[in-house]
Amino acid sequence: MADTLLKVDNINVYYGNIHAVKGISFEVNQGEIVTLIGANGAGKSTTLRTISGLVKADSGSITYNGEELLGKPINKVLEAGIAQSPEGRRVFPNLTVLENLKSFLSQLFFLPRYASLMDSSLRSSWPVPNLVMLPVSST
């Protein structure tokens, strides 16, 4: 049996009266690459933003390495090892991947210490065993 790294169980997300994510569930096991595929407006970006703590789910469960993340403050989600990196037109093309991540995290939290946390994690080794990078496609 594979070790479950990330488990999303029956998450529901609403934007006002709009039910944006309707009971999605999936698992990502150690060593797997999993993609979310769907039409524009299907909830892919909202799902990834919910996993990374940027959007709050109304119900369900998100566990990473056995630790419940749903409802935790975003800094605790980041400390657990979950981060979402921007892509496409939301990156700075003249910066390295690491510099883009640090820039994004510094802007997101308005606290450079989170970028420093990411810097030390990324520099230690690659692939980082306890860090899941969730690239998001523009929809």
Average pLDDT over residues 5-12: 96
Beta-strand ranges (E) seen in the chain are: 4-15, 18-29, 59-64, 67-68, 82-83, 132-133
Q: Which residue has the tokens 């990156």?
A: 91
Higher pLDDT, 89 or 137: 89
Q: CA-CA-CA-CA torsion for 36, 98, 82, 39, nearest 10 degrees? A: -20
pLDDT (tens digit, 9 = 90+) per residue, 18-36? Answer: 999 999 999 999 888 888 8
What's the pLDDT at 85? 67
pLDDT at 125 over 80: no
- Outline where 28-96 has alpha helix (H): 44-51, 74-80
pLDDT (tens digit, 9 = 90+) per residue, 43-95? Answer: 998 999 999 888 999 999 999 999 999 989 888 888 888 877 666 666 777 87
